Amino acid sequence: MRIKNSKLTLYIFSIYLFVFISCESEAGIRPPQEENMSLEDYESSYNIIQGEIFDKYCISCHIAGNPYAAESGLILTADISYASLINKIPNNEYAAGDELFRVSTAGGIQGTNKSFLIEKINARNMEHFNTHAGYGSIMPIGPLYLTNGQIDFIWDWISEGAPETGQVADISFLDNIERYDPEFIPLKTPENGIQIHLGPFEVAPQQETEFFYFTDLDNENDEFINRVEIEMRTGSHHFILYTYPEIISDEINFEEGVQRHLRNEDGSYIESVLEIMPYQIFLTGTQWPELDVYFPDNVGLRLPANTYVDQNIHYLNYTNESIIGEVYTNLHFMDSEPGYIAEILQLSVIEELFLPPKDTTTIEKAFMFEDILDVYNLDAQNINSIDIFQLFSHAHEKMLIFEVFFIDNNSETDDTLRYYCDDWEHPPIKYYGEPYNNEGIQILPNEGLRLKATYYNWTDEAIDFGFLSTDEMMILFGYFYTQ
């Protein structure tokens, strides 16, 4: 695949710089944890609960001498846990008043309904639990609740009469590692638009997961997007929707519904995934768990008929437990064609980016009216203004401050600060003009933007542009339209 137009090649390559493999460190893949005991090696269902749940999640508090254990009267170490649970009345006066046992051996629905343990661990039924104000908190105390599979396994064991011996609960329940996430609420389907759903998928302990997922949007006609919503589960680092240039889209032959991971298990990159990335065109994305972008009235981002998108997700998990990743995206459509077509703003600083070791460095570069339009092959002779309505920066861990100044056509006035960022991991997304209650950014001929970034390189080696977080970047993104 070759792109003959040099300006388009530069544009697509520059967009490629936005791929957030750049946000990974060389230490991104951690050594594997010690292997866990196989479930089949346990002698009984209760031994599985003890070894895989109580020992890993509960005994840090429910152990002799701990004030939490003293308050609850419950010790869950292997030598005493079964006797502490079975048919014992809870210390919690509200649960005792409701005639619950810590664990009932009645079996069936009666046994699960009468077991306080079920109430205390069933985070996915939080709405029900909250009706019992005196029951305390769901256990274990966050941020990681038990998985849905662990809850179901304990539920199954109690419904079978909660025996101390014998394999009575279905081990396959434990394959479900999804957890209740109080911050994640799936998006409602838009009335006029498309919803894309990715996941749920597992993110293994002590590593990062990043992959691409080719998806057909099934839009039969050209549409214009005027609002984008994104909602991600906890642990996300970024999510991006990419498209591909029409001149090569027919040559791309990705299988739908397949996770194309960026790295092998040893942390090395997969060449077949890397080689297509220079052709990807950023459509929308975020480094925040939630995004809700409204475009200005009468402005829309064109979505050509029969569009395929590549969903790119990056999750970081440096805990000792697997977590679940999941993303919902809503693309809201306009009822009619807009008066102005949105363009994707992208300004990159590459050659000038050099950071000497053990030093603070400030880098500046101006992009004037013609420079901005030239990136997108837009004819400056037929355009009167560039109207910017969104800006956000992208840099890596050495960045201290990223600023954007407006350059007017009066040499006697100072440039005006319009964007400021001092958090490289979560850069603010700023909106300008109507209806955002911020002064708009309109760039006329002989005007432009000046990017200024300050870095501190604390290492012993010089640093320049690169894809790792131990390298650096200096990029400004956003949306604009022309008049």
Q: How many residues does the chain have?
A: 483
Burial class, 218, CB count within 10 angstroms (exposed 0-12 / middle 13-18 / buried 19+): exposed
Please check whether residues 358 and 454 belong to one and the same domain.
Answer: yes
Q: How many domains does the chain have?
A: 3
Does residue 172 lie within any of the structural domains? no
Does residue 468 lie within any of the structural domains? yes
* Cβ(291)–Cβ(230) below 8 Å: yes
Question: What is the domain extent for residue 78?
Answer: 44-165
Does residue 476 lie within any of the structural domains? yes
Please check whether residues 187 and 308 belong to one and the same domain.
Answer: yes
Does residue 173 lie within any of the structural domains? no
Please check whether residues 187 and 326 belong to one and the same domain.
Answer: yes
User: What tokens were used for 74?
Assistant: 């419950």
Residues 297-308 have pLDDT tens digits of 899 999 989 888
Query: In the listed set 304, 322, 337, which residue is the last one of a domain according to the structure?
Result: 337
Please check whether residues 19 and 85 belong to one and the same domain.
Answer: no
**Do the strands 323-333 and 441-443 form a parallel or antiparallel pair, or are they unpaired?**
unpaired
Calculate Rg over the CA atoms of the chain. Answer: 27
End-to-end CA distance of the chain: 34
Taking the C-alpha atoms of residue 1 and residue 177, their distance in angstroms, rounded to an integer, is 41
Does residue 171 lie within any of the structural domains? no
Please check whether residues 228 and 282 belong to one and the same domain.
Answer: yes
Please check whether residues 352 and 239 belong to one and the same domain.
Answer: no
- The candidate with the shortest Cα–Cα distance to 453, out of 382, 399, 376, 392, is 399
- Residues 43-81 as b/e (b if ≥16 CB within 10 A, e otherwise) read ebbbbbbbbbbbebbbbebbeeeeeebeebebbbbeeeb
* The CA-based dihedral angle spanning residues 229, 343, 446, 465, taken in that order and rounded to the nearest 10 degrees: 80
pTM: predicted TM-score of the whole model, two decimal places: 0.62
Query: In the listed set 337, 365, 388, which residue is the last one of a domain according to the structure?
Result: 337
CATH code: domain of residue 209: 2.60.120
> Residues 6 or more apart from 98 whose CB is under 8 A from it?
132
- The candidate with the shortest Cα–Cα distance to 75, out of 54, 93, 49, is 54
**Do the strands 290-294 and 340-341 form a parallel or antiparallel pair, or are they unpaired?**
unpaired
pLDDT in tens, the chain (483 residues): 223 333 333 333 333 333 333 333 333 322 333 345 788 899 999 999 999 999 988 988 898 888 778 888 999 999 999 999 999 999 999 999 999 999 999 999 899 999 999 999 998 887 777 788 788 888 887 557 888 899 999 999 999 999 999 999 999 999 888 888 777 889 999 999 999 999 999 888 888 788 999 999 999 999 999 999 999 987 777 888 988 876 565 566 788 889 999 888 777 888 888 778 777 888 888 877 888 888 988 999 999 898 889 999 988 777 777 888 899 999 999 999 999 999 888 898 989 999 999 999 999 999 999 988 887 777 778 899 999 999 989 888 899 999 999 999 888 889 999 999 988 877 888 889 877 777 889 999 999 999 999 999 999 999 998 766 678 889 998 899 998
* Cβ(317)–Cβ(205) below 8 Å: yes
